[in-house]
Structure 1
Amino acid sequence: MVAALELYLDTTATRRLRTLWRALEAEGIPTLASLQDSKHRPHVSLAAASRLAPDEVVAALGDAPLGRGLALDMDFVGQFVGRVLWLGVTPTPALLDLHREAHERLAKGGIEVWEHYRPGRWVPHCTVSLRVPNPLMGPAVRRCLEILPLRATVTGASVTDHANDIAHPLPG
C-alpha cells in the first residue's frame, strides 16, 4: 500500500498529462490512468508512506501553505529502478522550501514517511507509469519528451491512499 501527500495541478497541465497517459496506454504501456480503477490523477507527491492518517496529517501541517499557486516546471524524463517512469520537476528553491517545511511539520506531528521522500533525498517528479515493460521503455521515454517542457501550477493538495479509498483534500 502507498499513501501520499499529493500536490494537484492546474487544468491545462492535468489535461496534457492525461493525454500522455492515453497515448501510452494505446501503445500498450500501463500508466497511472489504468491503476486502481483509474482513481489516480496527475500529481507531485511531497511525502509517501505505507499509511498516512488524513486527520493526523491535517493536524501536523496546521496552517502550512501547501503550494497553491506555485509554478512547477517539468523539463526532463526519468526512471527509477523497477520500471517506474516519470517527468522530472525542476527543484526550485520555492519547491524545496515547501517540501522541507511540510516534512518538518510531519516529523513534529510524529508522522513517519519513507526515507527516499525526505529532504535531501527526494527527487521531485510526476509519475507516469509504475511498470513500463522493458522493451517499451525507449518508446515511452520518447512519447514523454513530446509534451515537454510542461509548466504546471499547484491548485490543491490531498492525502491519498487509493488502495483504501482515501482521497482527503487538504484545506488552504
Structure 2
Amino acid sequence: MVAALELYLDTDATRRLRALWKALEAEGIPTLASLQDSKHRPHVSLAAASQLSPSAVASALGDAPVGRDLVLDLDFVGQFVGRVLWLGVTPTEALLERHRAVHDRLAAGGVSVWDHYRPGLWVPHCTVSLRVPNPLMGAAVRRCLEILPLRATVTGASVTDHANDIAHPLPG
C-alpha cells in the first residue's frame, strides 16, 4: 500500500503524459493508466509512506504553499530498481525549497514519510510505469524521450491512497 502527497500538472502536460501512457500500453508496457482501475493521474510526489492521514497532512501543512504555480521541467528519463520507469524533474532551487518546507511542516506535525522522499535523498520524478518488462525497457525509454522536454505548471495537490479510495485535495 502506498499513500502520497501528489502534485498535479497543468492540462497540456497531463494530456501529453496520458498520450505517452496510451502509447506505451499499446506496445504492451503497463503504465499508471492501467493500475487500480485507472485512478492514477500524472503527478510528482513530494512525500510517500505506507499510510498518510489526509487530516494530519492538511493540519501539518496549514496554509503553507504545497506546489501550486511551481514550474517543473521534465528533461530526462530514469529507472529505479525493480523496472520502475520515470521522467526526471530538474531539481530547481524553487522546487527543492518548497519540498524542504513541506517536509519541515510534516515532521513538525508528526507525519512520518519514507526516507527516500526526504530532502537530500528525494529524486524528483513523474512515474510512468512500475513494472516495465525487461525486453521492452529500451523501447519504453525511447518512447519517453519522444515527449521530452516537457514543461509543466503545478495546478493542485492531494493526499492520495488509491488502494483505499483516498483522494483528499489540499489548498495551495
> What TM-score comes out, normalization by structure 2 length?
0.99
> What TM-score comes out, normalization by structure 1 length?
0.99
- Please tell me whether the aligned partners of residues 54 and 168 of structure 2 are also in contact (alpha carbons under 8 angstroms): yes
Q: In the aligned structure 2, how far is the partner of 1:136 from the partner of 1:57?
A: 38
Q: In the aligned structure 1, how far is the partner of 2:120 from the partner of 2:11?
A: 30
RMSD of the alignment, in Å?
0.4
1:159 match: secondary structure = strand
Q: In the aligned structure 1, how far is the partner of 2:68 from the partner of 2:111?
A: 23
Which stretches of structure 1, 4 residues or more, deviate above 2 A after TM superposition?
none
Q: What letter matches 1:102 in structure 2?
A: V
Aligned to 2:31: 31
- The alignment-based identity, stated in percent, is 85
Give the alignment of 1:1-172 within 5 angstroms: 1-172=1-172
Number of equivalenced pairs: 172
How far has the Cα of 1:67 moved from its partner?
1.8
How far has the Cα of 1:171 moved from its partner?
1.4
1:112 match: secondary structure = coil
1:13 match: secondary structure = helix
Q: What letter matches 1:75 in structure 2?
A: D
How far has the Cα of 1:127 moved from its partner?
0.2
How far has the Cα of 1:66 moved from its partner?
1.3
